[in-house]
Amino acid sequence: MSDPVFIAPRGGLTLGAAAEACGVPLPEGADPARAVTGAAPLETAGPTELAYMDNARYGEALTGTRALACLVSPRFAPRVPSGTIALVTRDPYRAYAGLLARLYEEAMRPGSLFAASGVSPGAHVHPQARLEDGVRIDPGAVVGPGAEIGSGTVLGPNAVIGPNVRVGRDCSVGAGATLTHALVGNRVIVHPGARIGQDGFGFAMGPGGHLKVPQVGRVIIQDDVEIGANTTIDRGASRDTVIGEGTKIDNLVQIAHNVVIGRHCVIVSGVGISGSTTLEDYVVLGGQVGVVGHLRIGMGSQIAGSSNVNRDVPPGSRWGGTPAKPVRTWFREMTTLARLAERGGKDEAEGE
């Protein structure tokens, strides 16, 4: 069996160019013309590859690395071995991410799985759809009547763009993803299997049965949003569901109707956000957080993984637990319960 390299690094990057891109000066005596052929972990990086280190747990790996150069914080710079060039920066991981984007540009967003240029055989584009130049569409994809797709956008195999949907420029819609009732900005990434714009879960309940409430809103997705695989975003009931600029959503997230998410939020896998809830800008929800409906989570707040939020969260807060509360209160509660449990165990042992 052959051993393919799925994403190969681009050539042409030199050590000097890498340092300049990070805003890091090269140490005295380092040759700026040395070629950089890729990036790798500390343990496996070779003499033409870059690595990074920003966690004390990897100190031993740093001292043993054979990398050409390593991005490190000032704290760890003295531990870089003599055969490796230390590129010292306050944020090694962010600098490393920027270099990876230059080395592995192909990995920045999903491309055509069929090496398509233009509309592939087997794709179905309605005559009333409008495609700008440079759109690439893989086999099996469907584009409905009145849909508009901007230049540089890629639709993967079996992706569905519903009637009158607008998709901006330089977007990627992964294999099997479905977009209906949606307006999508530029540079948006929708990973495979995502479902955007299906009707929200709305019923007028009663003893004689549950009457379905028509969901007549839309989904608005602003620029530079990324949406993970198999995530679902319901369209609004009477107003729009909105995902703000730069927000990053992981796999397997459920966002209900009328939810408004601000700019540059981070929502980790397994989160469920109930209807008509608002997340202000820069909110972070850890994995498997649940949020009940009609709440507001204030700007810059962070919610610990597996928490359940059942009331409004003030701006700038750090909450956790079930029900969620300020982390200091949560930690005190857990400590107190642990002490009570330990004391109860001792009492039981003495009673025996």
DSSP 233-245: EPPPSSS-EEE-T
Identify whether 110 is preceded by a cis peptide bond (ω within 30 of 0).
Answer: no
- Provide the β-strand partners of residue 269: none
CB 307 within 8 A of CB 327: no
Whether 210 is catalytic: no
State how far the Cα of 192 lies from the Cα of 125, in Å rounded to an integer: 19
The catalytically annotated residue of 124, 210, 257, 294 is 257
Long-range contacts of 252-261 (CB under 8 A, 24+ apart): 252/228, 253/228, 255/231, 256/200, 256/201, 256/293, 257/199, 257/200, 257/201, 257/202, 257/215, 257/217, 258/200, 258/217, 259/234
The tokens for 348 are 């039981």
CB 85 within 8 A of CB 15: yes
The tokens for 166 are 């607008």
> What's 79's DSSP letter?
G
CB 236 within 8 A of CB 215: yes
The tokens for 86 are 């230390």
Exposed / middle / buried, residue 203 (Cβ in 10 Å: 0-12, 13-18, 19+): exposed
Task: Tell me the residue ranges of DSSP E strands in 132-171.
Answer: 136-137, 142-143, 148-149, 154-155, 160-161, 166-167
State how far the Cα of 154 lies from the Cα of 83, in Å rounded to an integer: 43
- 3-state class (DSSP) for residue 18: helix
Q: Which residues are tagged catalytic? A: 257
